[in-house]
Amino acid sequence: MGDAWYELHDRREGGAAAPSSASLPARCIEPDRDVDDDDAGDGHDILDDEDEDDSNEIERGSHRHRRHHPQIDELDAGRGRSSRHSISASVASFQLYSPDEERAVVRKFDRRLVLFLSLCYMLSFLDRSNIGNARIAGMEEDLQSSPPRDEWYDWSLTAFYISYIAFEWMSLLWRLVPAHIYVSAVILSWGIIASLQSIATSYPVLIFLRTLLGIGEAAFTGVPFYLSFFYKRHELAYRTAMFISAAPLATTFASSLAWLILRIGEAGPIAPWRLLFLIEGFPSVIVATFAWSVIPDTPSSASYLTPREKKVARLRLRHEKTMSSPTQLREKMHGERQASGLRLRELLLVFADYKAWVMAFMFFLTNMAYASLPVFLPTVLKEMGYTRLEAQAFSAPPYLVAFITVYITAWLSDRSKSRAGFVIFHALCSAAGYSVLALARPLSLGHTVRYLAVYPAAMGFFNVVVLTLAWSINNQESESQRGGGFALLQVVGQCGPIVGTRLYPKSDGPFFEHGMRACAAAMLGVAVLALILRFVLAWQNRRNASGEGDTADYVALDNFAGEAESLVESLERTTLMRDRERASFKYML
């Protein structure tokens, strides 16, 4: 392997030559590999099949390039560090690819995978939120019952989120069903249902279709969880931003397209709102056919990667697969086979984690604003005195600005490996914008000031949604816990839109003070919770570093590692000490 390096750190004073593998385990580590049945004596593998291939790659690279690498960690005995940490650091320092190779793989995933998922999410958000544009394009008059009932429109919004919440558990299917099959079926289903809204003859029919639409789109919410299979922890916020930023872009696109369709539809035989649902819904059906070939099931199955890039894509994430669960480590210590897929015990552990509940409640509060403003902003602007066409046109710019700021914030957050500070800042900005809108009547604020206040409100909650999703996934130790934590976040968080869609009854126009005050309080609450959570996570990190926190469950590994030498020699010790090092999980602040 022409670009492989074998990196081995010499811990002895004087820089003596590296010892041979026969002198293990004191100063040298062999690469990880599967233990043969004859050696282990119990017939259970330590690594999965892909890791076995990686280990063979390491071994071939070691024979071809056995030399010291100058850039290796400098934590050694001079600072009084234990030999165990030196062992683990040496294992972690194996390099089987160059930084340029890694960047090339990440860029391909960004261009091919994330951008395609962003397109899908843009269509998803477009199909759920264009009802706000359809309402002022004549839908209200055509579907209203006799006598009229003001709550019909509110129920059409609420019905979507009831089914959306009830089927949030489907986000776990990203780990269980091949992604290319799952995504294609999901997009096709919501595309057909969204298009069928154009033939609704009454509000009850529309409510039924919106309920089905909620089921279809709920199955797509696990994308950030899916992206964690392809990206490292500190890369996830920017990629989540690329995905979520499709929402403000969709709202911008929806408002502009609604303006165009309204102009065309007024002179045509089809009602403008029906044409709107049809034109904005059917593209999802077309995109579903491409998803089958574009969406990879795993990093190493992406068709657009070369064989070498597939190996790099897998290798770069080996140390992201943190063995943090006491159950997993005990099974490995005693030679028990680890189950593939999701682990029920770890999924259930998430529900006992107060940090996951705090994050979920933050998401609930954010979604009160996130889900309500896009579907009510055209109505709010129309109540300010703008015409139907002007209301459609002026709905777009705030979301375009939000689209740009989401990218900037996510990039800064990933670069600084920090989440809390950015969440607090944007939550306060959103709260300030909503506060201005809530005080418009008592302060006699004009239309211009009220319209400008929409910008920080929209920018704030879009950024908080992105960062909260990434922060939640970052702070779950294992893959199963990430899946469970994400499902909890979505189930609790998506209750927010049920509240949010009830905040702007038509009778509250033109200022909608109750809704604006509620959203301002919600975003202020997000800022307070984020600040508290930041201090709690910092405290937990200090406890873990001192051995008093969650990692206390792993103290038995030291004794067992000594016994393992006599059973499976140094290889088992290497694996166990690597997992103990990973067990010291550090929360992202």
Is residue 198 within 8 Å of residue 281, measured between CB atoms? yes
> Would you place residue 204 in the very low, low, confident or very high pLDDT band (cuts 50, 70, 90)?
very high
Q: Which residues 6+ apart lie within 8 Å of 12 measured at CB?
A: 27
Q: How deeply is 559 buried, as exposed, middle or buried, from its count of CB atoms within 10 A (0-12, 13-18, 19+)? A: exposed
The C-alpha atoms of residue 42 and residue 259 are separated, in whole angstroms, by 69
The distance in angstroms from the start CA to the end CA of the chain is 39
Q: Which residues 6+ apart lie within 8 Å of 509 measured at CB?
A: 379, 380, 383
More confident residue, 484 or 181: 181
DSSP letter string, 321-365: S----HHHHHHHHTTPPPPSS--HHHHHHHTT-HHHHHHHHHHHH
* Most trustworthy range by pLDDT among 200-209, 383-392, 508-517, 569-578: 200-209
Is residue 430 within 8 Å of residue 523, measured between CB atoms? yes
pLDDT score of 138 more than 50: yes
Amino acid at 522: A
Question: What 3-state class would DSSP assign to 297?
Answer: coil
95, β-bridge pairs: 5
More confident residue, 380 or 10: 380
Closest CA to 428 of 530, 351, 511: 530
pLDDT at 56: 52
pLDDT at 473: 82
Q: Mean pLDDT of all residues in the chain?
A: 75
Measure Cα distances from 540 to 306, 543, 586 in Å. 42, 5, 8
How many Å separate Cα 123 from the centre of its chain?
18
Phi (first) and psi of residue 262, to 5 degrees? -65, -40
- Summarize pLDDT for 478-503 with one digit per residue, the tens: 777 777 788 888 889 888 888 888 88
Is residue 504 within 8 Å of residue 556, measured between CB atoms? no
Is residue 250 within 8 Å of residue 126, measured between CB atoms? yes
DSSP letter string, 494-530: TTHHHHHTTS--GGGTTT-HHHHHHHHHHHHHHHHHH
pLDDT at 324: 45
227, β-bridge pairs: none
Paired tokens of 210: 């919106």
pLDDT score of 179 more than 50: yes
- Summarize pLDDT for 68-95 with one digit per residue, the tens: 443 334 334 344 444 444 444 334 434 5
Is residue 11 within 8 Å of residue 101, measured between CB atoms? no
pLDDT at 247: 78
Ramachandran bin of 547, using left for φ above 0, alpha for ψ from -120 to 50, beta for the remaining angles: left
- Please report, rounded to a whole number, the percentage of residues in the chain having pLDDT higher than 90: 29
pLDDT score of 509 more than 50: yes
Q: How deeply is 146 buried, as exposed, middle or buried, from its count of CB atoms within 10 A (0-12, 13-18, 19+)? A: exposed
For the chain, the structural domain boundaries read 1-96+322-342+555-589, 99-305+353-539
Instruction: Quickly name the fold that domain 99-305+353-539 has.
Output: Growth Hormone; Chain: A; (1.20.1250)
Closest CA to 49 of 330, 326, 328, 314: 314
Q: How deeply is 268 buried, as exposed, middle or buried, from its count of CB atoms within 10 A (0-12, 13-18, 19+)? A: exposed
The C-alpha atoms of residue 354 and residue 198 are separated, in whole angstroms, by 44
Query: Residues 267, 268, 271, CA angle at the centre, nearest 5°?
Result: 105
More confident residue, 93 or 178: 178
pLDDT at 567: 41
DSSP letter string, 181-247: HHHHHHHHHHHHHHHHGGG--SHHHHHHHHHHHHHHHHTTTTHHHHHTTTS-GGGHHHHHHHHHTHH
- Please report, rounded to a whole number, the percentage of residues in the chain having pLDDT higher than 70: 72
Interval 302-315 mean pLDDT: 91
How many Å separate Cα 219 from the centre of its chain?
14
The C-alpha atoms of residue 297 and residue 299 are separated, in whole angstroms, by 7
Q: pTM for this structure?
A: 0.67
pLDDT at 251: 75
**Number of other CB atoms surrounding residue 74 within 10 Å:** 9
Q: Hey, CA dihedral for 260, 263, 265, 267, is it positive or negative? A: negative
